[in-house]
Chain A
Amino acid sequence: MSLPKPAMRGLLGKRLRFHLPIAFGLALVAAATFKFTVTEPRKQAYADFYKRYDSMKEFNAMREAGVFESVRPAGK
């Protein structure tokens, strides 16, 4: 019954050498995926919204609807 001697040392190092690059890689992939699926479209949506945003028009519309307490709808 002569089995080969099992590995007695370096077990943690071997495991880390295998798993740490994978862990870092996956973390980077996760961050990149989030950036390009969430943050970039969001930034673009905000940019597009404010390109065509007329703040005075919006303000007057809100004023007529009566949501402000500082200004009443025009014509009172």
Chain B
Amino acid sequence: MLASRALVRGLQSGFWRRVSTSSAAWAAHTHDVDVVDCSIPQYNNRLDTPLPDVPFVQNLTAEQKKLKEKEKGSWTELTKEEKLALYRLTHELSFAEMRQGSKEWMTVLGGVFIFLGFTGLLVWWQRIYVYGDVPHTLSPESVAQQTQRMIDMRVNPVHGFSNKWDYEKKQWK
């Protein structure tokens, strides 16, 4: 259950990110190509698979290459900024960044309500201009006759309908 919740959160922030930017723009961000090649491993930000298949930045500049060389030595010699830069080379989002929500739900809810309201207007128009008349059995006189018959038949005399009618005084209790 906890893993599924993490999965949902990861999907919520990661999924919409992938969908909102077009896949071509996304690929260009990481690979400098026009289309995503799905036959090679791709980078992903997911809470449940913390070690992506490829590092985030794949085409390193000369500076970044120098940093990677320095990484091959003793890590105690790396400064804090260098460690952070190396992290950002291999990962796009940290766990905290992956988990953080957004205010997108307000937009979604607003859009849902807008479209529901519009649908309501359409339904209203349909009710006025498309539907015919209701049956005559729904007129007040017909309903009164039906109610009288139900009382005569003793419908639900224990708890329900006829229980509420006073048969001596001929009125509702």
- Interface residue ranges, A against B (CB under 8 Å): 42, 45-46, 49, 58, 61-62, 65-67
Query: What are 17 A-B pairs at a CB distance below 8 A?
Result: A42-B159, A45-B158, A45-B159, A46-B158, A49-B157, A49-B158, A58-B154, A61-B167, A62-B152, A62-B153, A62-B154, A65-B152, A65-B153, A66-B152, A67-B149, A67-B152, A67-B153
Which residues of chain B come closer than 8 Å to A65, judged between CB atoms?
Answer: 152-153
> A48: nearest residue on chain B (CB-CB)?
B158
Interface residues of B, dominant DSSP:
loop
Q: What is the minimal beta-carbon distance from A68 to any residue of chain B, in angstroms?
A: 9
Question: Smallest Cβ distance from B5 to chain A, in angstroms?
Answer: 14
Contacts of A45 in B (CB 8 A): 158-159
CA distance A49 to B154 in the complex (A): 13
Residues of B within 8 A of A58 (CB): 154
CB 8 Å contact bits of B145-158 with A (1 = contact, 0 = none): 00001001110011
Residues of A within 8 A of B167 (CB): 61
Instruction: Give complex CA distance A58, B153 in Å.
Output: 9
Interface string of B137-173 (1 = CB under 8 A from A): 0000000000001001110011100000001000000
By beta carbon, the residue of chain B nearest A11 is B2
* Chain A residues, CB < 8 A from B149: 67
Assembly CA distance A45 to B149 (angstroms) = 24
**Chain B: minimal CB distance from A20 (Å):** 15
Chain A residue numbers with a CB within 8 Å of B157 are 49
* Most central of B149, B157, B158, B159 by chain A CB within 10 Å: B158
Residue among A58, A62, A65 with most chain B CB within 10 A: A65
Complex contacts, A42 vs chain B, CB 8 Å: 159
Q: Which residue of A lies closest to B153 (CB)?
A: A67
A76 → chain B, closest Cβ, in Å? Answer: 17
Cβ-closest 10 pairs across A and B = A65-B152, A49-B158, A67-B153, A67-B152, A46-B158, A45-B158, A45-B159, A62-B152, A58-B154, A62-B154
